[in-house]
Amino acid sequence: MSQPIDLAPVNELDHTTFVLTFGSVFEHFPQAAHGAWAERPFASAAALHDAMMGVIRKLDAHGQRDFLNLHPLLSGANIRAGTMTSDSNEEQKSAGLDAMTARQEAMLERLNTAYLARHGFPFIICVRHYTREGIFTALERRIERSTQQEQDEALAQIAAITRGRLDVRLNAFRQVSTSSVGR
């Protein structure tokens, strides 16, 4: 287990630097960092993440739907085309979505299309918690759920995705802060 991160330097960041440092944690939504900044000081990484998720949870239903639609489809073609954020690209690769057969790609495209048509936003899952086969199974199962269940599930999955991303950024920030103190 990693050691707790001292958030004092994070809490001291000015607004612009804070948003530049943490604005990409949420897919194309730096507003999460923007809104969370006002909640400083953060006692822990969990508190920082909770503040960022709080920005999302405070959006009205339309705003949450718009936010969900900022997320990319799961797709080998998107990985190859380089059309996603580097985080999404690496996460989807980690689940083997860049190494699917033509049949698997066609199936994923068909399932994505059905999900999007039914719910109005892309299927969102924390791919690092699943195998490729597990992703397909979850997608097939979740298509038939209610849209409200799926919106709630998508937000829960985003919480898992972004917590991992935040931890990476906090560790990088700690390394930079530690190395600049020693100069």
What is the C-alpha separation between 4 and 140, in angstroms, rounded? 38
Which CATH number does 73-158 carry? 1.10.3330.10
The whole-number pLDDT of residue 175 equals 83
Active site residue 62: no
The whole-number pLDDT of residue 1 equals 42
Computed on alpha carbons and rounded to an integer, the radius of gyration of the chain in Å comes to 18
The whole-number pLDDT of residue 180 equals 64
Ordered by start, the domain boundaries in the chain are 8-65+169-181, 73-158
What single-letter DSSP state applies at residue 97? T
Which CATH number does 8-65+169-181 carry? 1.10.3330.10
Q: The tokens 């600049």 sit on which residue?
A: 180
Closest CA to 158 of 24, 27, 18, 19: 27
pLDDT per position as a tens digit, 76-106: 999 999 899 999 999 999 999 999 999 999 9
What is the C-alpha separation between 40 and 42, in angstroms, rounded? 5
What is the C-alpha separation between 15 and 122, in angstroms, rounded? 31
Helix H or strand E encompassing 90: helix 86-94
Q: Which two tokens stand for residue 44?
A: 């822990």
What single-letter DSSP state applies at residue 85? -
Q: Cβ distance 49 to 162 under 8 Å?
A: yes
Catalytic residue among 15, 34, 49, 71: 71
Q: Which two tokens stand for residue 109?
A: 């495209």
- Return per-residue pLDDT of the chain as tens, 183 residues: 456 788 999 999 999 999 999 999 999 999 999 999 999 999 999 999 999 999 999 999 999 999 999 999 999 999 999 899 999 999 999 999 999 999 999 999 999 999 999 999 999 999 999 999 999 999 999 999 999 999 999 999 999 999 999 999 999 988 887 776 554
Query: How many angstroms separate the first and last alpha carbons of the chain?
Result: 28
What is the C-alpha separation between 1 and 117, in angstroms, rounded? 42
* pTM as predicted: 0.93
Name the residue type at position 12: E
Q: Which residues of 54-71 are buried (b: 16+ CB within 10 A; e: fewer)?
A: ebbeeeeeeebbebbeeb
Strands in 32-177 per DSSP E: none
